[in-house]
Amino acid sequence: MERADRTMMYFGRYPAVIERGQGCRVWDVDGKPYLDFLGGLAVDSLGHAPPAVVDAVSRQAATLVQTSNLLYTLPQIELAEFLVSHSGFDKVFFSNSGAEANEAALKLARKWGKRERNGAYRIIAADRSFHGRTLATLAATGNPAYREPFQPLPDGFDFVPFNDVDALADAVTEQTAGVILEPIQAEGGIHLPSEHYLADVRALCDEKRLMLIFDEVQTGVGRTGTLWGYQQWGIEPDVMTLAKGLGSGFPIGATLAKEPFCVFGPGDHASTFGGNPLACAVALAVQREIESKDLVAHAAELGRYLSERLQELVLHDARLKEVRGRGLLIALEFHDEIARQVLDLLRDRGLIANALNARTLRFVPPLIVTRAEVDEAVEILAAVLTELR
């Protein structure tokens, strides 16, 4: 850890040096095992070292790794076909991360607004949102603490409270091109939309002719118990962005759009590594594994089970305020600012999670997590809460 601090810029690291992983478990360099309910920050859909990923990486690495997007490759075509045929979108742009996927979506909105809405370029985003750390995605992120050190940020973003469609309607002007929302605000604390909010936003965007972008970087690929988060609210956005779980740990981002919004032409946007055959072969293997093992339904079921088990703790412990979430994207909120203290004790007892803020823990285990592992995690948490009394 000292060597890391000497040579790497600050991230606020978790004090454990992890060497290897298997399934929902990781081991540190001293051989201590941990149950991993952080899952690479909602990334490791298939857990650690899953045979499907090991096989796809080895096979594709020995075949073809990178060609650039000046050439066609089969893994890229096949992954695009899979995503399009399993969603309501027509075309895909591949990149390497969530922020990049959102950058592409924001550029689509700008170009579409220029062409279709008389030069409109502004994007409405929500307070408490998180869309990434590049300058444009930070400009769309509704968290003043993240934004402040980097002001002035790129112009063109307006903010409204989440779950308030009237505020959104009031914020629309002639210059508005689109709206970007996470269907569930994840980094902001795992806040769900109220029952009709997303449908009302969809109707507003239709009425005003605005591009609706859903940032599903965290909620996509089965995390919330449906393949895409939007499916739970019976509507479809015009553009959806993915990253995190798509490659189960192998970096890849994707921006999916419906035909009228696929406005990139030659030279408009590109990424040297984006959609390289290695990343696409892995992401395709991950999607096939999720489908063939029915892991989306499994995530829904295990998410319900984890929520119920946490809810039992809330009922019997006045320090716990509530459990929030969908599928395997779950927050546990305390009344007081004890989340970081709890997190440290969980780590000592071999459970990795993370704190979204001083009062809130986040649990995002791999989609393959078992009932026995959920029981083990809840028992560790219960023991820590007893220790803290």
Ligand X SMILES: Cc1ncc(COP(=O)(O)O)c(C=O)c1O
Task: Give Cα 329 to chain centroid, integer Å.
Answer: 10
Q: What is the DSSP string of 35-71?
A: EESSHHHHT-TT-BS-HHHHHHHHHHHTT-----TTS
Q: Quick check: 139 binds ligand X (CB under 6 A)? A: no
Q: Quick check: 307 binds ligand X (CB under 6 A)? A: no
Interface segment toward ligand X; rule CB under 6 A; list 97-105, 120-128, 152-160, 202-210: 97-105
- To ligand X, the closest distance from the beta carbon of 173 in angstroms equals 25
Among 50, 98, 220, 222, binds ligand X (CB under 6 A): 98
Among 105, 213, 243, 353, binds ligand X (CB under 6 A): 243
Q: Quick check: 132 binds ligand X (CB under 6 A)? A: yes
- To ligand X, the closest distance from the beta carbon of 370 in angstroms equals 25
- To ligand X, the closest distance from the beta carbon of 32 in angstroms equals 27
Question: For ligand X, which residue has the nearest CB?
Answer: 98
Edge-to-edge strand list for the sheet holding 122-126: 91-95, 253-257, 239-242, 211-215, 176-181, 122-126, 157-160
Which of residues 42 and 384 has its CB atom nearest to ligand X in the complex? 42
Which positions from 267 through 296 interact with ligand X, judged by CB under 6 A? none
Which of residues 12 and 31 has its CB atom nearest to ligand X in the complex? 12
Interface segment toward ligand X; rule CB under 6 A; list 15-23, 68-76, 127-135, 325-333: 127-135
DSSP symbol at 87: S
- To ligand X, the closest distance from the beta carbon of 26 in angstroms equals 19
Instruction: Count Cβ neighbours within 10 Å for each residue of 31-57 and write b for 16 or more, e otherwise.
Output: eeebbbbbbbebbbbbbbebebbeebb
Give yes or no: 375 in active site. no
Among 110, 111, 117, 131, binds ligand X (CB under 6 A): 131
- To ligand X, the closest distance from the beta carbon of 148 in angstroms equals 19
Which of residues 187 and 333 has its CB atom nearest to ligand X in the complex? 187
Give yes or no: 114 in active site. no
Radius of gyration of the chain from Cα atoms? 21
Task: Give the list of residues 6+ apart from residue 306 with CB closer than 8 angstroms, or none.
Answer: 328, 330, 363, 365, 369, 374, 377, 378
For residue 91, the cross-strand partners are: 257
Which positions from 161 through 220 interact with ligand X, judged by CB under 6 A? 182, 186-187, 215, 217-218
Q: Quick check: 329 binds ligand X (CB under 6 A)? A: no
- With beta carbons less than 8 A apart as the criterion, state whether 251 and 97 touch: yes
Element (H, E) at 77: helix 74-85
The CA dihedral of 265, 267, 273, 274, to the nearest 10 degrees, is: -20
93, 130, 250, 264: the catalytic one is 130
Task: Please tell me the distance from the alpha carbon of residue 230 to that of residue 223, in angstroms, as a whole number.
Answer: 12
Q: Quick check: 111 binds ligand X (CB under 6 A)? A: no
Q: Quick check: 103 binds ligand X (CB under 6 A)? A: no
- To ligand X, the closest distance from the beta carbon of 130 in angstroms equals 5
Task: Please tell me the distance from the alpha carbon of residue 53 to that of residue 177, in angstroms, as a whole number.
Answer: 39
Which of residues 87 and 137 has its CB atom nearest to ligand X in the complex? 137
Task: Please tell me the distance from the alpha carbon of residue 163 to that of residue 204, in angstroms, as a whole number.
Answer: 13
DSSP symbol at 192: P
Which of residues 182 and 238 has its CB atom nearest to ligand X in the complex? 182
Q: Quick check: 136 binds ligand X (CB under 6 A)? A: no
Which of residues 258 and 362 has its CB atom nearest to ligand X in the complex? 362
- To ligand X, the closest distance from the beta carbon of 277 in angstroms equals 20
Interhelix angle 74-85/277-292, nearest 10 degrees: 40
For residue 171, the cross-strand partners are: none
Give yes or no: 244 in active site. yes
- With beta carbons less than 8 A apart as the criterion, state whether 103 and 241 touch: no
Q: Quick check: 130 binds ligand X (CB under 6 A)? A: yes
Task: Please tell me the distance from the alpha carbon of residue 101 to that of residue 342, in angstroms, as a whole number.
Answer: 34
36, 94, 244, 258: the catalytic one is 244
Which of residues 241 and 307 has its CB atom nearest to ligand X in the complex? 241
Positions marked catalytic: 130, 215, 244
Residues that bind ligand X (CB under 6 A): 97-99, 102, 130-132, 182, 186-187, 215, 217-218, 243
